[in-house]
Chain A
């Protein structure tokens, strides 16, 4: 495939389309990122270059191709146990707190919004197996959502490359919860079956969700403008149980956006508790 620098018109088209379809603001200065993400889309659809792909899209609106472009541009980078600290907080305080609070219902619901290929929700699943005693007698729902069909499919497969399992995942957990299959590593069924995945675009109508005790919405809000952030946080609040907690990315906050949350500092991590 020929390598050609993207034209300003092409970059503009990508940014406009992504903004219209997902409300995400791309950083125009990162045109290399656009090239890296869109090269496979162009190749898979038989185009010689990204410029050709975009020219075709501009000539005639093709919804499926457009979706592929938006998905490729909005897929989150992810790794197992990303940032570590939220998982420490789960282990040290939140798991035991929920065990007491939900002792009667024995139910626990956790949501990974923008779950990408599933590393976050599966990290939570493995973490529960290690640190949540009596797990077997509880009804646990782990839900991963994303706007990309492609990553949801991969998340449900729970097959990861060597590079992916090398990142962030302790070797002790790798040998315990995964099995090798050729070049790939597959989560064992008992962990894989703990999570389910569904399509959800944060700025569109949401499918019904269980009432959540813990929500992970990390490194997602950074892409949106303040109004959209507010709207998303309000909707998130409505699916949260009383006293439920929300984890955001390190560069994100509810402060100044939504007064319904209280900021809690716990060891090295920060989370937001529903008031």
Chain B
């Protein structure tokens, strides 16, 4: 298994498309950082509409590296499934297209082993992609914008809120958030690999995965009561933003945030269970279908 995994990682490392994602993240993060360095105050003013009249606030201080990372994640974690799909959607279909699938499968390895190796390799790729993102969006932002307390702007139900997390209470939340994001993106990996079983070129599964994620995300964010109640809980994309749960800090009855706390840990645990369920279900389905599949490519 370890050998197969190393081979898969080697193959991924040798494909130019692998590096497109890293370059894309670098570009997006740097554009964000440049834009916010140049004109971050406008964004702050937009978020602080109404607050400016009642409070004075050192916006420069609020526009720090931790805040930047949150904004970048907020945007990028919607796009990153596309980059993950680019690799995972190619896992089986790419080999079918190249004609190497039949070559590999005439070697003494089971299909389950091959699928598992490809699955693990895609997850490792995703994790490396996230680490790259963390280095850029958190590490580089902290260097450029400095450290400080972090403001979280949030709309919960009808209520708009600003939560403040002190700088010494943030890092562990990011570590947890990135770990959660890795889990959430593993669902995308599972979807893309499942779809890649049915195609003989990688464009189909990649585009289909992206479409599923986009459509589900749009539906997840519709804010229509009927959808909220009856559809949203069943879409895995509703749980992709669960990483934010680590930043929703619990407060005392007087509204003072409690250091090291999470407002609703149960909902995060529930999301994790749902995501793990999706991964397990999709992987088992993929294994079943792959074992039954006639290799005609």
Do they bind each other? no
Q: Which residues of A contact B (CB under 8 A)?
A: none
